[in-house]
Amino acid sequence: MKVHKIDHVGVIVNDLPTAKDFFIDLGLEVLGEAEVEGEWVERIIGLSDVKETVVMLGTPDGEATIELVKFHMPLDKKGIKESFANTLGIRHIAFSVEDIEEIVTKLKMKGAELFGEIQNYKNTYKLCYIRGPEGIILELAEKIK
């Protein structure tokens, strides 16, 4: 038995166009979009009457993929609950970036919220957390050369 790599990270959203634009603004590329429904997906995810739209986005180097999913049916009645860096469970997606300041400025202009501030970690990395649409939390890391 052997794990090869993480294939993708799935993010469930209500506003698919806004979430898609957020990741495109970050620098990801659309790999594909599809409407998904039917018994095969229902048997995989354990839900009935599934109808969803899926957008796959990838980093330019092809190393990471994000799957954005908008469920049209069934709906999550609880809605999005804001989480924080210490909330239990899967909390953020980390990206290695170039020019962290430029990316943060661009994302903030589009409505993203910086948690604190960009920090220099031991002259090795510049790091920050930023919250995008749908409560999506990203960690950005720029290696200092």
Confidence (pLDDT) at 145: 87
pLDDT of 57 = 98
State in words which class domain 9-73 has. alpha beta
Task: Quote the pTM value.
Answer: 0.90
Pick out the chain residues at pLDDT < 70.
Answer: none
Quick check: 42 and 53 in contact, CB under 8 A? no
Q: For CATH 3.30.720.110, list the domain ranges present in the chain.
A: 93-143
What CATH class does 93-143 carry?
A: alpha beta
| Exposure string over 94-127, b if 16+ CB within 10 A, otherwise e | ebebeebeebbeebeeeebeeeeeeeeeeeeebb
Phi, psi of 58 (to 5 degrees): -135, 155
Specify the domain boundaries for CATH 3.10.180.10 within the chain. Answer: 9-73
